[in-house]
Structure formats: C-alpha cells, structure tokens
Structure 1
C-alpha cells in the first residue's frame, strides 16, 4: 500500500511539473509572438501629419511625399524631403517592429508602423528635429 501511494504521488508530481512547464511555454510563446504583420492594403493611401506633411503610398509600391521631415540621403536631399520613390513593408519579428521603408535612388528610411485603437499609424524614427521626438502620420 505504501509503495502504491508513493508511485501515485510521484506520478502526480510529474504530471504537475509537465502541466506547469506547458503553461510556462504557452504563456511565453504568446507574450513573445511577433505582432500581426500589416499588409500592403493596410498602408496604401494618403497619410498626413503636422507642418503640412503629406505622404501617398500607391498600390504599385511608389510613393509621393511633401515636407517629410527626414533626410533620406544627407548629401543629396535636404530636410524636409519632397519627392517620390518606391516603398516596401519590412517583415516584423519578436524584436523589431514592422516598417514602411521609403526609398529613393537606392537610399531608404523606415517609417515605423504602430497600432493604436484598431488603426495603423506611422511614425518617423530618424528625425532631424528633436532627438527622441516621434513625428506621427495618420491615414487621411
């Protein structure tokens, strides 16, 4: 009887450890899961921000910008940038956000995607204004 009780206790202990391990694994995998990726259709359209900034992301992966406060290629373009080029979406992972990368003449600059209240917003990560300040763009 004592041996049977000991075996039952060992089996219950092993089951508890396995269930706790599964719970920790499941929780960690849910917390470390990358955010859902945006699709091109989510970002195509007109975006605007303060200071008369306008950005149009076209379905053919070209863009048009006016007064975008970034320096895409410091030696050739001044801030703010007005012009055109091509864009693409980066692939997010658990360590990096997803970006819309705008590129002209082979030089690109990321606009980071953020989800807020069920909508997608863009913000500039490389600013020439105040370090650490985020310049937000909202879909028009």
Structure 2
C-alpha cells in the first residue's frame, strides 16, 4: 500500500505543478526577474503550498500515528553545515539558471526539450557526485 500511496502523492504533486504552470521554466525565471517583467505566479503557488501544509500537518498530528507506518519519521538534525549550505546554494543557482527544480523537471518529461534534458543530466550527475563524495560512502 505504501508504494501506491507514494505514487498517488507524486501524481497529485505533478498534476498540481502542471495545472499551476510551474512546469514552465519561464514562470520561475519571470519570478526571479524583479527588475523587469516580474511574474508573481510562483509566490501564489508557494503560498498555497504553505497553507496546505500548515493545515495538513495539524490534521495529521491529531491522528498520533501515520496511516501506513508505525511512527512518524521526522528529521532530528537542526544544525547548518557546509554541505547543507553548499547544496542549497547549488540548488538555487541551478533553479535560477534553468527555471527547473527536480519536481517540475520530472513532471515536464512528456515535453522533453534540449534544456530540460541538459538539466536532468546535470541533476543526475549532481546526485551521483554527492553520493560519491559523501563521507558515508
């Protein structure tokens, strides 16, 4: 049941991205162009996500345990280190340059283009390098 729930959540997420126009990299780049033709669409999508998450967490916490697991799995680390900050910076640079982040990139696969393919290759190479350079490996 967990894989089905994961698939449905991913499908819902992808549909939300497509319906909101967030699979169009021009929307993200337009949002970052505050001195030019600014497109505020992304802030409304982000705001909707924050409100949904805020309400959703309150409903889920009332249950006490998740539907498909014995306990909630929440992050315990609260420190900021060079790897986290460096990864966040690389993510932001890649997102700003390409207009894609991983979710919209995967949701955009049916309309594969050269820039999207380049982003996906760079993303996979980045994941591979991160795993190779990780102290755990």
Q: Same fold by TM (over 0.5)? A: no
Say which structure, 1 or 2, has more relative contact order (CA 8 Å, 6+ apart).
2
TM-score by length of 2: 0.21
Task: Give the number of the structure whose residues are more often helix, by fraction.
Answer: 2
Task: Give the number of the structure whose residues are more often strand, by fraction.
Answer: 1
- Greater CA radius of gyration, 1 or 2? 1
